[in-house]
Amino acid sequence: MLTERNDSMPKLNENYQNLKESYLFVEIAHRVAKYAEANPDKKIIRLGIGDVTRPLEPLAVEGLHEGVDAMTSTETFKGYGPEQGYDFLRQAVVDYYAENGVSIQADDVFISDGAKSDTGNIGDLFAKDNVVLIPDPVYPVYVDTNVMTGREILYIDANAENDFLPIPNPDIHADLIYICSPNNPTGNVFPAIEIERLITAFDGIVVVDEAYIDFSSRPSWIRRLNEFHNLVVLQTFSKAWGSAGVRLGMAFASPDIIGYYNQVKYPYNISALVQRYAMEMLDRENEVRRWVDEILSVRSRFVERLSGIPMVKTVYPSDANFVLVKMVDAEKVYLRLVTDGIVVRNRSKVALCGDCLRITIGTDREMNILLETLKSYS
């Protein structure tokens, strides 16, 4: 334990004590392990974290294999790569967006090992006394990275009156604003006109996290990047692209901001193999679109049937690969599901998400098992 200081130890960052504990993660891991031990022939259905249920596509695997082969040759071997990502991948990203009618430059692109790292990188750019504004509820990493720095955090509460999409008032003094759209954990999308109003009126940096944008019919803010010098857009390969285990993300911003990113990012944390894999995935847009359409179809069928279960109070609208569900005694349901080998995400302790579970959309079979299990509790 690091709660007590020993004179022989370095002094602990006191802000660490202000982090909220991961709710029941250890206990849930214990319950899942117990279930797996008692039921070795049954597969655990994991619908908690926004992970994926598909293996890597053959063409992507082929790209990884080609990367390995390239590392065995003196002519094609690659050592440490550039912090912002190899030029060939950044240009491939530019070409990908050009084919979709979006004009950006390679200097607008920063390749990372995931949007979570980009969230930390943006915080490293600014002084400790800057004020951060965060709509609540939202992805907790925005909070944790700034709590560890000791920054003042202002929260804007979501409620029924603002459709659980609290847009900050530009008159409120802040230096950095985080917007997650589609939002995690609610799944809904902030109105474009409100985000534009905020970016235009705000003097500080506005970070728009689009981890789930591929599941939404709304256009990405990357299309507007050249209009706003204070806009940073985060995206990831982890969700729609089915690559959570590969760890690859992107930040888009003006060349000035990307230049600062290059200075604060830890070097060499993206392998040449992963970047070659990304090249292959960018050529598979049609396949990715098919995956997304399939997930949206499963989500639609699941929501329709879920709404008819007596213990379900509300299924909130979602533009993501998950749904937020208000239930009767959600915590009890959550623990029973774990006991039955089904892991969802308990959001009951999150502000304004009382009695809510967040359920990631899996396969039709997985969602049907979940539905039948919930029915058996009623």
Strand pairing partners for 323? 359
Q: Which of 81-85, 112-116, 284-288 has the lowest mean pLDDT?
A: 81-85
Where is the domain boundary, 264, 284, 304?
284
Question: Do the domain assignments include residue 8?
Answer: no
Q: In whole angstroms, give the CA distance from residue 273 to residue 78.
A: 10
Name the amino acid, one letter, at 169. N
Q: At what angle do helices 140-149 and 115-124 cross, to 10 degrees?
A: 30
The pLDDT tens digits for 209-232 are 998 888 999 999 999 999 999 999
Mean pLDDT of the region 8-17: 71
Is the domain of 212 the same as that of 357? no
Higher pLDDT, 246 or 145: 145
Check: CB of residue 312 under 8 Å from CB of residue 327. yes
Sign of CA dihedral 267, 269, 275, 276: positive
Is the domain of 328 the same as that of 347? yes
User: Helix, strand or coil for residue 230?
Assistant: coil
User: Whole domain around residue 83: which residue ranges?
Assistant: 58-284
Total number of domains in the chain: 2
Question: Do the domain assignments include residue 169?
Answer: yes
Radius of gyration of the chain from Cα atoms? 22
Q: In whole angstroms, give the CA distance from residue 330 to residue 311.
A: 9
Mean pLDDT of the region 170-176: 81
Quote the pLDDT of residue 16.
Answer: 67
Is the domain of 39 the same as that of 116? no
Q: What is the mean pLDDT of the chain?
A: 81
Quote the pLDDT of residue 1.
Answer: 46
Check: CB of residue 204 under 8 Å from CB of residue 230. yes
φ/ψ (deg, to 5) at 238: -75, -30
Q: Is the pLDDT of residue 15 over 90?
A: no
Mean pLDDT of the region 289-308: 92
Is the domain of 357 the same as that of 258? no
* DSSP per-residue codes, 249-298: EEEE--HHHHHHHHHHSPTT-S-HHHHHHHHHHHTTHHHHHHHHHHHHHH
Q: Is the pLDDT of residue 53 over 60?
A: no
Is omega for the bond preceding 137 within 30 degrees of 0, making it cis? yes
271 pLDDT band (50/70/90 cuts)?
confident
Quote the pLDDT of residue 82.
Answer: 67
Is the domain of 115 the same as that of 193? yes
Is the domain of 148 the same as that of 160? yes
314 pLDDT band (50/70/90 cuts)?
very high
Of residues 198, 192, 197, the one with CA closest to residue 176: 198
Where is the domain boundary, 262, 284, 306?
284
The pLDDT tens digits for 328-340 are 999 999 989 988 8
Is the domain of 362 the same as that of 273? no
Check: CB of residue 153 under 8 Å from CB of residue 143. yes
Q: Is the pLDDT of residue 241 over 70?
A: no
What CATH number is attached to the domain comprising 125? 3.40.640.10
Question: Do the domain assignments include residue 245?
Answer: yes
| Rounded (5°) CA angle 301-302-303 | 95
Higher pLDDT, 110 or 303: 303
Mean pLDDT of the region 273-288: 76
Question: Do the domain assignments include residue 329?
Answer: yes
Is the domain of 119 the same as that of 214? yes
| Rounded (5°) CA angle 138-139-141 | 130
Is omega for the bond preceding 182 within 30 degrees of 0, making it cis? yes
195-206: b or e for each residue (b if 16 or more CB lie within 10 Å)?
Answer: beebbeebebbb
Residue 326's Cβ-side half-sphere holds a number of Cα atoms within 13 Å equal to: 10
Is the domain of 29 the same as that of 104? no
Spatial neighbors of 78 by CB under 8 A, at least 6 apart, are 70, 71, 86, 272
Question: Do the domain assignments include residue 4?
Answer: no
Structure tokens, 316? 């909130």
Quote the pLDDT of residue 269.
Answer: 64
Question: Do the domain assignments include residue 2?
Answer: no
Quote the pLDDT of residue 77.
Answer: 77
Is the domain of 306 the same as that of 173? no
Is the domain of 340 the same as that of 202? no
Question: Do the domain assignments include residue 7?
Answer: no
H or E stretch covering 177: strand 176-180
Q: In whole angstroms, give the CA distance from residue 332 to residue 24.
A: 13
What CATH number is attached to the domain comprising 24? 3.90.1150.10
97, 245, 282, 347 from 274: Cα distances, Å: 20, 10, 12, 33
Q: In whole angstroms, give the CA distance from residue 311 to residue 62.
A: 46
Name the amino acid, one letter, at 83. E
Check: CB of residue 92 under 8 Å from CB of residue 275. no
Question: Do the domain assignments include residue 172?
Answer: yes
H or E stretch covering 143: helix 140-149
Q: Which of 72-76, 122-126, 363-367 has the lowest mean pLDDT?
A: 122-126
Q: Is the pLDDT of residue 4 over 60?
A: no
Structure tokens, 257? 């901001």
Sign of CA dihedral 126, 132, 133, 137: positive
23 pLDDT band (50/70/90 cuts)?
very low
Model pTM?
Answer: 0.84
Q: In whole angstroms, give the CA distance from residue 38 to residue 77.
A: 47
Quote the pLDDT of residue 24.
Answer: 47
Structure tokens, 173? 């003094």
Is the domain of 231 the same as that of 269? yes
Q: Is the pLDDT of residue 285 over 80?
A: no
Where is the domain boundary, 284, 303, 335?
284
